[in-house]
Amino acid sequence: MKVTRKQEKIVKRALEGWRQEGVIDASEQQRLQQNLSVQLFDWQRMSRYAFWIALACFIIAMGSLVADEYLMALLFNFGYLTRAVILLLIAIAFYCWGFYRQRKTPDKRYSNEAILFLGVLFTALFLWQLGMAFDNGSGNVAPLFLLGCAIYGVIGYMSRSGLIWLFFLLALGSYFGTSTGYSSGWGAYWLGMNYPIRFVLFGGVLLAACYLLKKPLLQRNVFAVSKAMGLLYLFIALWILSIFGNYDLDIWQSVRQIELLHWSLLFALAAGACIWISLKTDDGMLRGFGLAFLGINLYTRYFEMFWDDTNKVIFFLLLAISLALVGRYAEKIWRLGEK
């Protein structure tokens, strides 16, 4: 069995623990350890990183192409609608190629996902050109994001690709934000709610839907990314809400901090609930989000309450001491895990 050095340490630690508990004897432990073959270089991780860098370079190249009016006129000397059709055909070609490779060579996971991602990129360019073709000056871009949701959702679900499903969830959030913004005339409020409150509700609904549809999402390997994005939408919205409240930016500057206290408490309660549930279910993702955003909440309140009235030397000294204590506690937990 080929393993990395880190995996070898974990397996050997498990075998040693089982030997001490009497689950296996010393000869069985030695026999199992001899079957481990350490892979000196992690080629799988190298492959993943190489494809990520290649895709990033391709995105930069496409961005440079779009920004270059001369090259755009030279390569795409057509109307917006014709450009949109060409880009859609290119996207479909990449999707078909990616699905074909998934069936023929499913083990080449990273290259298959890279090809499908190129389809995602050209789909985004297609939507941009389609929007330019049908722009009537209304500023309503929500239908484009909805079309992107449909395309990315179907492709991500069929291909079992967490990366493409991530773009579906991003497009879904963009659709919600732009549709409610357009409905409110791009004002601060929609049904009495500013953007942070809207996305608190959006993140909560997304999380609820994620757990209601847990079985099919797990079967398609997109449950983890769905849960992570639901938590991210929820907690980032709660964080912004704890700073600005349900106020317009023009009004917010005259609002006292005490009037925003209940939003900070709601933020802390949500983080505490995540930590409590994670202790009950041993859910590492919930624990990580809960601890991270509880810390963000505390440090945000620290900056709000003490920045103006505290000497900056004392302020940053206290901040350094508190962060050092957090680091020391984290190091202690890590060392206990190592032992």
pLDDT value of position 309: 66
Note the pLDDT of residue 68. 63
Distance from the Cα of residue 274 to its chain's centroid: 17
pLDDT digits (tens, 9 = 90+) for 269-299: 998 888 888 888 888 888 888 888 888 888 7
Which of 198, 187, 193 is closest to 233 using CA atoms? Answer: 198
Q: Which of 157-171, 184-198, 316-330 has the highest mean pLDDT?
A: 157-171
How confident is residue 171, by pLDDT bands cut at 50, 70 and 90? very high
Task: Render pLDDT for 189-219 as a digit per residue (tens, 0 to 9).
Answer: 788 888 889 999 999 999 999 989 989 999 8
pLDDT at 43 over 60: no
Let me know: does 166 contact 227? Beta carbons within 8 Å. no
Task: Give residue 300's pLDDT.
Answer: 80
For 300-322, what is each residue's pLDDT tens digit?
877 777 666 666 677 677 777 87
Given a contact cutoff of 8 angstroms between Cβ atoms, the answer to whether 202 and 233 are in contact is: yes
Tokens 């349900």 label which residue? 246
Average pLDDT of 129-139? 81
Region 83-102 average pLDDT:
88
Residue 81 confidence (pLDDT) above 60: yes
**Rg of the chain on CA atoms, in Å:** 25
The model's pTM is 0.75
What average pLDDT does the segment 94-122 reach?
85
Place of tokens 């408490």: 265
Determine what percent of the chain is predicted with pLDDT higher than 90: 16
Q: What is the mean pLDDT of the chain?
A: 80
b/e map of 268-295 (b: 16 or more CB within 10 Å)? bebbeebbeebeeeeeeebbebbbebbe
Residue for token pair 């709660």: 238
Q: Residue 137 — very low, low, confident or very high, per pLDDT cuts 50/70/90?
A: confident
What is the token pair recorded at 301? 């309140």
**Token couple for 75:** 């390569």
Q: How far is it, in rounded angstroms, from Cα 236 to Cα 59? A: 26
Q: Give 10's pLDDT tier (boundaries 50, 70, 90).
A: confident
CA dist list (Å): 11 to 15, 18, 29, 180, 193: 6, 11, 11, 52, 52
Q: Which residues contact 273 (CB under 8 A, 6 or more apart)?
A: 290
- At residue 170, the pLDDT reads 92
What lies within 8 Å, CB to CB, of 266 at 6+ separation is 238, 241, 242
pLDDT (tens digit, 9 = 90+) per residue, 232-279? Answer: 999 999 988 888 877 776 666 666 667 777 888 888 899 888 888 888
Alpha carbon distances (Å) from 238 to 235, 265, 287, 298, 314: 5, 10, 17, 13, 29
Return the number of other C-beta atoms located less than 10 Å from residue 100's C-beta.
Answer: 12
Three-state SS string across the chain, please? CEECHHHHHHHHHHHHHHHHHCCCCHHHHHHHHHCCEECCCCHHHHHHHHHHHHHHHHHHHHHHHHHCHHHHHHHCCCCHHHHHHHHHHHHHHHHHHHHHHHHHCCCCHHHHHHHHHHHHHHHHHHHHHHHHHCCCCCCCCHHHHHHHHHHHHHHHHHHCCHHHHHHHHHHHHHHHHHHHHHHCCCCCCECCECHHHHHHHHHHHHHHHHHHCHHHHHHCCCHHHHHHHHHHHHHHHHHHHHHHCCCCHHHHCCCCHHHHHHHHHHHHHHHHHHHHHHHHHCCHHHHHHHHHHHHHHHHHHHHHHHCCCCCHHHHHHHHHHHHHHHHHHHHHHHHHHHC
Both tokens of 124, joined, read: 């985004």
Is the pLDDT at 338 greater than 60? The verdict is no
User: pLDDT confidence of 330, banded at 50, 70, 90?
Assistant: low
